[in-house]
Every structure is written in C-alpha cells, then in structure tokens.
Structure 1
C-alpha cells in the first residue's frame, strides 16, 4: 500500500495514511475556525473588503485540501480502477474536476 492508501471501490471508501489524514484534518480545522471568524466579522459589521479577503483565504485553504485529496485519489483509486479495466473512473474524475474548477 502506498503512503496515499488504497481505494476500496466496492465500498466507496479510501483508507488514508495517518500522516496525510492528520494533515487534512488540521487544515480543515483551520478552515472551520476561519469560517467562524468570518461569521463573527459579519455580525460585527466589519468592512466588506476585509471579509472578502478572509473568504478568499478560506477558499484557498479548501483548494489546498482538495489538491491533497485529488493527488491521492489519482495515485490510488483512479490508478487501481484503470488497472482493473474500469475506465468509467475517468468520466467520474472528469466530473469531479469540473466541479472543483467552478
């Protein structure tokens, strides 16, 4: 098993290495705190531009988590399914990437 883990396509789950999972959870915890901070800024009528800058920071942080997940997904789940002859995974990946790029 690679550091990224491996995909269990029949169960639709992906075991991840503890280090990678801890990294993503840490990043998501920071995002969660940032979102709570934005809510507080709105409640306090903070200047719009300051709130928009915080929203951009949250989007960037979520994109970073998405990149980690996408890399792991491509190196494990997608690769394994292609090797098993399941080419439908390419269409699934393309749909997901289109959603990420909106």
Structure 2
C-alpha cells in the first residue's frame, strides 16, 4: 500500500489540473503570447507540481518511513536514506 492511497483521487485531480495548465502553456506559446505572461503560468504550474511533490513526500514520511522506523534496523535506515535523497532532489529542482 502506498502512503497516498487514502487520497489518490485528490492527487490525480491535482495532476489533471496541472496537465491542463501545461496544455495551456503550449497553447500560449503557439499563439505567441507575451513572454512574461507565459513565464507567470510556468511559475504557477511549477508551484502546483511542487505542492503535489510535498504532499507525496509528507505521505511517504507519515506512512512508509514511519512503518520502516517501527521495524528498525536496515529497513529503517534504507527508508530514511531514500526519503533524504528525495528531499535533496526536491530542494535542487
């Protein structure tokens, strides 16, 4: 079971909304929309993706990492490292 299982529909809804934003960006570029307006929408789509990523990370910590921590040992160490690596990737992006 994945950490976001209880609100998978909400995550999918947010991703569909982001997909629509990206299609809108494509349309804006095709229509030669002013650069700053396109950049504003890129920023909005980026923030929306970051919000989804943070939500998924929160779920991962609350479920997957917490379950592994209860088991302890190498399983816990591996999950903590995995989460730490994911956080590092998010911070770099």
Q: Greater share of helix residues, 1 or 2?
A: 2
List 4+ stretches of structure 1 deviating above 6 A: none
Residue 50 of structure 1: aligned partner: 37
Match of residue 14 from structure 2: 27
1:89 pairs with 2:76: no
Q: So what's the TM-score if we normalise by structure 2? A: 0.88
**Corresponding residue pairs, total:** 88
CA distance in 1 between counterparts of 2:11 and 2:47 reads 14
Q: How does 1:1-102 map to 2 (within 5 A)?
A: 7=1, 14=2, 16-17=5-6, 20-85=7-72, 86=75, 87-102=77-92
Deviation at 1:96, TM superposition (A): 0.5
**TM-score under structure 1 length normalisation:** 0.81
SS in 2 for 1:101: helix
Structure 2 gap segments, 5+ residues each? none
Measured on the aligned residues, the alpha-carbon RMSD in Å equals 1.2
